[in-house]
Amino acid sequence: MPEIEYVRFLGAVADQSELPLAVQNAPGLMATSLSNGALKTLNQRHPNVCLLKAEGPATYIRQLIEDIEGAFDVFGGMAGIQFPDSLRAGCVGMIPAADLFDPQVRIYELMRQGTPQSIAEAEEIHRELLPLIVFMMSSVENFIVCGKHLTAQRLGLTSGLVRQPSVPVSEFGFKTMSHWAGHPGPFPSA
């Protein structure tokens, strides 16, 4: 369908609410996404659509932020694979998955402090998470299935079943995930 039809559809949904609304845009990951210009048009026509989860590298996010000229508060995505760079590109934060939210919250807090020491600490935490994030993001299916299992593992649960249908992950895949998941350890207790 032409891009304007997606803008119209999302706008019709937005017109049903007075609340601020968010869209998730994933060019390069999904078959359907909106251009930066279409996102800006969506916000101009429907100002309550003002939050955006931008799934893409920091270079894409930087260009997006420049093109939309403040129309959205932009949050990073892609499991935080480029989280510090996304913040430097202008993101107001990240919408993390449940599996690694605690170290990613710490990265955010340290980056916001903005001292050379806090930024170095944030980048060190990020470097420690990167092998796991890269493994998890090798495919959308891998991210969903392994992410559920990683969350269960960190919670101390024995099962991290995912909704069906799903792509199965091999025993080797789970062993690889568990190997790289050694850094975050269990979730902190309340």
Residues 14-54 have pLDDT tens digits of 999 999 999 999 987 777 899 999 999 999 999 999 999 99
Name the average pLDDT for the chain. 90
Residues 103-150 have pLDDT tens digits of 999 999 999 999 999 999 999 999 999 999 999 888 877 788 888 888
CB 118 within 8 A of CB 148: no
Coil, helix or strand at residue 123: helix
CB 93 within 8 A of CB 54: no
Neighbour order of strands in the sheet with 73-76? 21-25, 49-54, 73-76, 93-94
Q: Which residues of 52-74 are buried (b: 16+ CB within 10 A; e: fewer)?
A: bbbbbbbebbbebbeebeebbeb
H or E element in which residue 119 lies: helix 116-136
Question: Does residue 190 register a pLDDT over 60?
Answer: no
* Residues of the chain by 3-state class (helix, strand, coil), percent to 5: 55, 10, 35
Average pLDDT over residues 162-177: 76
CA–CA gap between residue 141 and residue 164 (Å, rounded): 12
- Residue 71's nearest CA partner among 52, 91, 98 is 52
Beta-bridge mates of residue 23: 52
CA–CA gap between residue 123 and residue 121 (Å, rounded): 5
- Residue 27's nearest CA partner among 17, 18, 37 is 37
Specify the pLDDT at position 121. 98
